[in-house]
Structures are given as C-alpha cells and as structure tokens.
C-alpha cells in the first residue's frame, strides 16, 4: 500500500538482480535483505548488510509475486537522483495507472537520458513493487515527482507537446526548444484540462488496424524521435 510506503519511507525490491542494482545505486538505503538458500548473492556482499535467511515458503508469503525469486530487500525511499546535465526533455505522465507501464516508461526515459518525470497525482506510485520491477533499477536514475501537472505546465516556459490519436505526424515535428512531453492515461489519453494548455498535438502514424498503442510503447517511439532532435549520434 502506497500509504504505508510513504509513511515508513521504505519500499521493497525483489530478486538478486534488483538487490544488486539497489546496492550499486543506493547502498546507504539498504535496510534489510531476506534470502533463501537459492540466492546467488555472494556472502561478501551480504556481510555488509543486515541479512536474514528464510524459507521459500516464508518468502512466498511476503512476496508480491506469484513466482517469487530468491531474495527480497527493504530499501529506504529518501534517496536523491543525481542529475548530470540540464533537462532538455521532461516527461509528463498524466494519469498512468498500470504499474508495468509506468515502470517501463521510467526505464525507457533512463535509456534515452531523460532525467526527470513529472507525474500527476493520480499516476501510480513509483514505489509500487510492479513499477520497481519493470523499471529494472532506473527508478534510481530518473527523478520522479508528483505534481498538479496543469499548474506545473502553466508555470513552465517549455514547449508543451501531447501525444493524441488526432494530432499531426510525429515525424514532421521539429524544434530546438526545451520540451515537456505529455503521455496520457492508458484508456482516456491526455486529460481535457491538459489539452487546453498544450502547444502541439502529435500522433504516431500507423498503417495497420490496431486501435491504439500501449502507453509505454508509444512513449518509447515518441521519445526516440524527440531525442534525435537533441542528440545526433
């Protein structure tokens, strides 16, 4: 529950890979590690942290996964993302509800060097276990904040670009200005109050019969095009 995660300022990561990612990214935030006999985490790593050996049955009881992996860690959520440069492109998530989608969007942002995501307050919690798992560690490298995005956009001097089903072709869009890219809710798209204040609407041209694209897939396509405007390699 996000209420308790926020109250305790802790969240859970599961699996050896995610624990190693957490240790590499936020070592001072690791509060406890729970392992079974099947973990591949080395004893050299585990000696640095409070570690409990538990049975597979116990891990299954506390895991959020149907088929849990061999380890689980409690991690503090007070870490700060270190930014390396100025944000030319900021991603705005307007009501993204599916945790797998949101985690994948965070991971995609990380791949393309986007350091900041501004999420509406009705977007899924970034520390939801499924978000954490889908982000594959990118949660430690992308700064996610929750805001009233209408107020945020109104106060921003960035060019505001929204993905819709009835916009101009994405591939015709060009700019050298700093951008705010708005990705809308999986079912309803960008909210009407946000559409009222954006500068451009773009759509991804399609040639098949699918009604629409998954939100995280659409994000990846749009971000890949937009980052070409800033990076030329």
233 pLDDT higher than 60: no
Backbone angles phi, psi at 169, to 5 degrees: -60, 130
* Calculated CA dihedral for residues 48, 52, 53, 55, nearest 10 degrees: -150
What average pLDDT is seen over the chain?
A: 92
**Per-residue DSSP letters for 54-105?**
--HHHHHHH-SSSS--SEEEEEES---PPP-S--SEEEEEES---HHHHHHH
The percent of residues in the chain predicted with pLDDT above 70, rounded, is 97
pTM for the full predicted model: 0.92
2 pLDDT higher than 70: no
Answer CATH for 89-228 from 2.40.110.20, 3.40.640.10, 2.40.100.20, 3.40.1280.10? 3.40.1280.10
Q: How confident is the model at residue 63 (pLDDT cuts 50, 70, 90)?
A: confident
Query: CATH 3.40.1280.10: which residues of the chain?
Result: 89-228
What CATH class is the domain 2-76?
A: alpha beta
Query: CATH 3.30.1330.30: which residues of the chain?
Result: 2-76
4 pLDDT higher than 90: no
């Amino acid at each position: 529950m996000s209420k308790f995660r926020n109250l305790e300022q802790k969240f859970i990561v599961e699996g050896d890979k995610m624990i190693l990612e957490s240790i590499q990214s936020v070592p001072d935030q690791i509060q406890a590690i729970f392992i079974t006999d099947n973990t591949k985490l080395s004893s050299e790593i585990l000696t640095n942290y409070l570690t409990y050996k538990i049975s597979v049955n116990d891990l299954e009881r506390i895991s959020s996964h149907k088929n849990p992996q061999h380890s689980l860690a409690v991690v503090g959520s007070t870490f700060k993302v270190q930014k390396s440069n100025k944000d030319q492109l900021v991603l705005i998530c307007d009501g993204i509800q599916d945790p797998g989608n949101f985690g994948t969007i965070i991971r995609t942002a990380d791949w393309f060097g986007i350091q900041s995501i501004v999420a509406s307050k009705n977007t899924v919690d970034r520390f939801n276990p499924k978000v954490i798992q889908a982000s594959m560690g990118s949660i430690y490298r992308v700064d996610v904040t929750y805001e009233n995005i209408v107020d945020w956009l109104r106060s921003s001097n960035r060019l505001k670009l929204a993905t819709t089903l009835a916009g101009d072709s994405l591939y015709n869009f060009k700019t050298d200005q700093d951008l705010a890219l708005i990705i809308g809710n999986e079912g309803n798209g960008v909210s009407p109050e946000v559409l009222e204040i954006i500068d451009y609407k773009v759509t991804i041209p399609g040639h098949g019969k699918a009604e629409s694209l998954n939100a995280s897939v659409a994000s990846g396509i749009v971000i890949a095009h937009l980052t070409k405007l800033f990076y030329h390699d």
